[in-house]
Amino acid sequence: MREIGHFIDGKQVKGTSGRHGDVFNPNTGEVQAKVALAKHSEVEHAIAVAEAVQPAWAAVNPQRRARVMMKFLELAQKEFDSLARLLSSEHGKTLVDARGDIQRGLEVVEFACGIPHLLKGEYTEGAGPNIDLYSMHQPLGVVAGITPFNFPAMIPLWKCAPALACGNAYILKPSERDPSVPMRLAELFIEAGLPPGVLNVVNGDREAVDTLLTDPRVKAVGFVGSSAIAEYVYATAAANGKRVQCFGGAKNQMIIMPDADMDQAVDALIGAGYGSAGERCMAVSVAVPVGNKTADILLEKLVPRVEGLKIGPSTDPQADYGPMITRAHLDKVKSYVDLGVEEGAKLLVDGRGFKMQGYESGNFMGGCLFDQVTPQMRIYKEEIFGPVLSVVRAKDYEEAVRLPSEHDYGNGVAIFTRDGDAARNFVSRVEVGMVGVNFAIPVPLSYYTFGGWKRSGFGDLNQHGPDSIRFYTRTKTVTARWPSGVKEGAEFVIPTMR
């Protein structure tokens, strides 16, 4: 049985806690590896290693830190296919989806290659009599990231690449469900020239997390996961004096206006609702057709598409999506479908009984589609994180704007329409952090920031883009005056520029 330990001080090390978690093959349900779960002292050791080497890394000039990012990109491209296979084997997403996971992560590394420009401060000569004013951006020190199972390459890279480029040392605590890709990425950073100890990976559960949240040497924490845990991480880390950015759950809605291109809308719903078996924080899980006529036309086209979804093992190049991460998660998603039926929603397509021939013990589930879902139902209120799409019929445009705006989550939303005025009005008014216009999954590119509102995001700064540089640095402002030989005497009032 393969054993996965930790990555500390530039090398893989065995766990010493005596506790392990199971890493499953989602296609078969079998345990394929054991991952060590770090104890308090192991995490403390990783922090101590990072703290010792961080000052020297911060002293490396930004251009040379950028070269490490560039070399990492080169190495990752060479291993792109093997990384995708490794990711797919532990997560269960199809190979093409795994490649997308890696690619979106590498795009943030590409953004981080511009760190010499991104770290430039401001300078004003002659701000006052013989006074110059300037600012600089300095790293925080040791920072940490706690990342989820659903994007085992993308989100760790979103977190660590900007942090490292800014001159910080980084402790990554990835999901214990699919830890192998983060471990390999750490090795590639070392091969790219990152000094040992600047990036460490500790695998673990709550004991490892709580150590990162409470240790005073860790200056900032980033998290992605469920909203309940995001709120806990945010509150605990903030109470311990840390800078925190936490991203939680979602219930992304797609508004379909009567004038929308219905074929385009159906294609978008199929891909965004069922891709990666719905295990995406940006998955569309609620379709909101405006008017009953629009809903009927939409469902006439949508039902056969859901019924025709091709589910297969993650290695099947023809599969639309593969298995879910674990049996426990599969059972949870099925229980939500049971709940929806109990709540009175109309189940138009039922994928609960799907079995994959030859993979009967795998974590497979067919697509499910509900109609007549109301905002009072739990299947509307709560994140299901599976291949389940709910249709909520809005009587008019105003209700369609109100539904996502009043939801507890505010991660992403989309509107499909040919009316530019309606789209512009929607974008301006909707209370959601990321908005798509005829674009179902509005994930911004790496040089913009990613983040949701309300219970989808805790903290003031978002992931990647300019916000990531602000999050991983402190601004120091310097006011300098050089004596000109004229003695002005003591000043007893607050300095001004008059």
Just list the catalytic residues: 281
Distance CA 136, CA 141 (A): 15
CA-based nearest residue to 38, from 214, 174, 204, 206: 204
Where helices occur in 383-419 by DSSP H, the ranges are 397-406
Token pair, residue 283, equals 């998955």
Distance CA 149, CA 225 (A): 9
Token pair, residue 134, equals 């300037």
Given a contact cutoff of 8 angstroms between Cβ atoms, the answer to whether 435 and 278 are in contact is no
| 11 CA to centre of own chain | 26
Core vs surface per residue 466-480: b (16+ CB within 10 A) or e: ebbbbbbbeeeeeee
CA-based nearest residue to 361, from 10, 25, 2: 25
The sign of the CA dihedral 82, 85, 89, 91 is positive
* Count of Cβ atoms closer than 10 Å to residue 398 Cβ: 11
User: Which pairs count as long-range contacts for 33-36, CB under 8 Å and 24+ apart, including other chains?
Assistant: 33/1, 33/2, 33/3, 33/4, 33/180, 34/1, 34/2, 34/3, 34/4, 35/3, 35/4, 35/176, 35/179, 35/203, 36/3, 36/4, 36/5, 36/6, 36/203, 36/204
Distance CA 412, CA 254 (A): 9
Token pair, residue 366, equals 């067919």
Core vs surface per residue 282-319: b (16+ CB within 10 A) or e: bbbbbbbbbbeebbebbbeebeebbeebebbbbeeeeb
Query: Residue 18: phi, psi to the nearest 5?
Result: 80, 0
Distance CA 246, CA 144 (A): 12
Contacts of 236 (CB under 8 A, 6+ apart): 210, 213, 214
Distance CA 449, CA 484 (A): 45
Range list of β-strands (E), 252-378: 252-256, 284-289, 346-349, 368-371
Q: How wide is the angle at C-alpha 399 spanned by C-alphas 398 and 400, nearest 5°?
A: 90
Distance CA 300, CA 430 (A): 28
3-state secondary structure of 441: coil
